[in-house]
Structure 1
Amino acid sequence: MPVIRLPTRLAAGVAGLALLAALLAGCGSSSAAGGAAGRLPVVATTSQVADFTRVLGGDRVRVAQLLKPNVDPHDYEPTPADIEAVGNAKVLVENGVGLESWLNDAVGAAGFDGIRVDASRGVTIRAGNGDEEERAGDPHIWHNPLNAKIMVADIEHGLARADPANAGYFHTNRIAYDRRLDALDGDIRRQIATIPPTDRKLVTNHDAFGYYLDRYGLTFVGSIIPSFDTAAELSGSNIRKIVAKIRQTGTKAVFSESSLPPRTARTIAAEAGVRVEAGEDSLYGDTLGPAGSAGATYLQMEEHNTRTIVAALR
C-alpha cells in the first residue's frame, strides 16, 4: 500500500479518524452508502461552491460544507470531521485553480472514491505573477457571474453522474439559476456605469477581484497584500507604495474584506486621506458571510459588493 504523507497538523487528526472509522465499521455503519432520507451525500469545499451545489441539488442532496463563512481558504487545515465527511461523500466539489492546496492530502487520507468535480473546468483563468503559490493562476473565478455559470454547469454534470435519476431535476434548477446569474451580471453592469469613468479605481486587501474588475471595466490600483494568497507577507514597503499610488491616481477609497482584519486598510486610508469601507461595509472576497448577513449567498455577496463599491466611488 502506498504511504500517504500528510501535513503535521493533519496527520494527528487522521490517526484519530482511522480509529473512528474502524469503530463505525464494527457497528455496521452505512453512512458512506447514502445520505439522510436517500439524499445524495456531497462535500463542497468553499462557501461559494457549497451555495451553488445547494441551489442545484435542492432537497435531493445533503451538502457538507468544509469551509465555514468568513474562513480564509488559502491557509485552511482540514479537521478529522472534514476528512470523515469526504470519505462518506459520493461527490466532492472544489473550486480548483489551486485554491484548496490542502485538498489532495485530505482526499487521500479519507479514501474518497466518488466523483470529484473541479468547478473551474472550462473557465478562462487569469495568470498569476510567477510566485509558487500563484502558478496555477488566479483562483477567485466566482467574481465574474459568467464564470459562475460555468462553475454551476460543472457541478450539475457531477451531480447528474452520481445520481442519474435526478439529472432532469438538477438541470431544471441550473437553467433557472442561470437566468438569475444573467440578471445579476446585467444589474452590476448598470450600477458600475453610474460611476464616473475616472473614478473606477479599486484598492483592496488582496488581489481577489481581478475577474470582477476585468468584467466590469474597473482599474486595479493595488492591494494591501500584493498576492492572490492572503497568507503572503505584508511589508512596510508595500504599505508605503500603495499609499503613494492612491495619492498619485486620485483613488477615492480603500476596501477591506470580511475575512481579513480591517486595521491595515484603515491605516492606509487614513495616511492617504481617503475613505475606507470596513466592518459591515467590507467586501466579501474569499468567502460568503454567515446566514443573515449581506453576503449569505453568492447572489447577495455580489450585490452587496457592487452596492458598496458604487456608493464609495460614485
Structure 2
Amino acid sequence: MRISVRAGAALAAGVLSTGALAACGSDDKDARDGKRTEAAPVANAGAPAAGSGPKVKVVATTTQVADFVRNVGGDRVEVTQLIKANASAHEYEATPADLNAIRGAKLVVENGVDMEKAWLPKAVQAAGFTGQVVDSSTGVRLRKGEPGTDGEEFDPHIWHDPTNAKVMVANIGRALSGADATNAKVYENNLAAYTAKLDALDADTRARIDAIPAADRKLVTNHDALGYYVDRYRLEFVGSIIPGFDDQAELSGSRIDEIVGRIKATGAKAVFAESALPPKTAATIAREAGVKVVDGDDSLYADSLGAPGSAGDTYLGAEKHNTDTIVAALRG
C-alpha cells in the first residue's frame, strides 16, 4: 500500500479523556482462529436523563464506520469522516484538517482488521491524540485470505455481512456509552433500532439471493472485497480482476488471462465493476470472456459508500443496491 501522512501537525496541548471502554488496537486479534478479542461490557444503561450536554466529537475512518457512528450516536455525536465517498481506504493520506479533527476528538473509531494500519497510527501520533481508538471489528470472526496475495492475512471488508455489521455497531455503542454515560440510554435505543434494520437487511438479502438458481450464483468482481457477502449468502466466488484485498494491487497480463479463463470455464454471467475503481479493465475482461459488464450507476459499492444522494450513500442503501444489482445480472 502506498500511503503516507503529511507531517507538520502540532502536538495536542492537553490529554483527551478516555471512556470506560479500553482502546482496542489493530494488533489484538487472535491469529490462530481469526477472532477478535471481546469488547468491554456496555456502560450503565440506567444513566440520568438522556439528550443533554455537549455533543461527543468522533472521528471515523471509513465511510461505513462513519455511517454506523451517525446511526448509533444520532444527534448526540459530531462525526468527522476521514475517507471520502467513492475513495479507497488503501490510498488515504491525512490532511492538516483531518489531523486537527483527530486532535480534538473524544473517540477515533476504525474499521480494524489492519484496514488502516498503514496510516492511522501515524495520523494519531502526528495529531498528538491521546484518547481512545475504538476497533469496531472486535468480536468479528475473520475470513482469511490467500497466502501471498497482498500481505494481508485477514479480509478487512467485514461489513458486507450484516451480522458483522451488528457486532461493529454494538462496539460503537459501548464506546459511546463509555465516553458519554449520561446519554447511554440514547445510544442503547439507537443501537436497538438500527440492529433491527440490519436484521431486516440480512433476511431480505438472503431471500433474494436464494431466488437465483444455484448454478447461476457466480460472482466476478474488481477485487476480493465481497468475500463475507459471498460466504453469508452462499454464492460462488469465481475470482477478482485485481488479486487480493487491496484494490491498489498490481494487475498482470497473466492475471487477465487467468480470470478470463475462469469466467469461461464456470459459465459466470457477468463481471461487476466497483464504484471506487475505474471500470475499463472490468469491461475489457467481460468483452474477452463474452459476458456482460455491470458498471456505471450499477457498479457495486465494495470499498466505499457512495456520494450523498446516490443509491449507496448509506450502508443500508449500498448493501441493498449491491443485492439489487447482483440479482438483476445473475437472473437476467
Q: TM-score, normalized by length of structure 1?
A: 0.90
- Alignment partner of 1:183 is 2:200: yes
Q: 1: distance between equivalents of 2:177 and 2:212?
A: 42
Aligned residue in 2 for 1:125: 142
Contact 1:45 1:94 in 2 (8 A): yes
Q: 282, 292, 297: which is aligned to 2:309?
A: 292
Q: 64, 82, 107: which is aligned to 1:48?
A: 64
Aligned residue in 2 for 1:14: 7
1:1-314, aligned counterparts within 5 Å? 10=5, 13-15=6-8, 17-18=9-10, 38-101=54-117, 102-131=119-148, 133-314=150-331
3-state secondary structure, aligned to 2:112: coil
Return 5+ residue gaps in structure 1 as ranges: 1-6
Contact 1:243 1:271 in 2 (8 A): yes
Deviation string, structure 1 residues 144-197 (Cα, Å, up to 9, x no partner): 000000000000011111101111100100001110000000000111011110
Q: TM-score, normalized by length of structure 2?
A: 0.85
- Larger RCO (CA within 8 A; separation ≥ 6): 2
Contact 1:115 1:162 in 2 (8 A): no
Contact 2:3 2:92 in 1 (8 A): no
Q: 1: distance between equivalents of 2:280 and 2:292?
A: 14
Hey, which of these two has a bigger chunk of helix by percent?
1
Which AA in structure 2 matches 1:39?
K
Q: 2: distance between equivalents of 1:169 and 1:73?
A: 30
Q: Given the superposition, is the C-alpha separation of residues 9 and 248 from structure 1 closer, same or farther in structure 2, using an over 3 Å criterion? A: closer
3-state secondary structure, aligned to 1:189: helix
Q: 1: distance between equivalents of 2:3 and 2:323?
A: 40
Cα deviation for residue 14 of structure 1 reads 2.7
Which AA in structure 1 matches 2:73?
G
Contact 1:41 1:90 in 2 (8 A): yes
Q: 1: distance between equivalents of 2:145 and 2:266?
A: 24
Q: 2: distance between equivalents of 1:291 and 1:76?
A: 20
Deviation string, structure 1 residues 212-246 (Cα, Å, up to 9, x no partner): 00000000000000110011110010000100110
3-state secondary structure, aligned to 2:215: helix
Cα deviation for residue 278 of structure 1 reads 0.3
Pairs aligned (count): 293
Return 5+ residue gaps in structure 2 as ranges: 18-52
3-state secondary structure, aligned to 1:286: coil
Aligned residues: CA RMSD: 1.8
Cα deviation for residue 83 of structure 1 reads 1.1
Which AA in structure 1 matches 2:82?
L
User: Identity of aligned pairs, percent?
Assistant: 58
Runs of 4+ more than 3 Å apart: 131-136
Which AA in structure 1 matches 2:243?
P
Contact 2:3 2:93 in 1 (8 A): no
Cα deviation for residue 94 of structure 1 reads 0.2
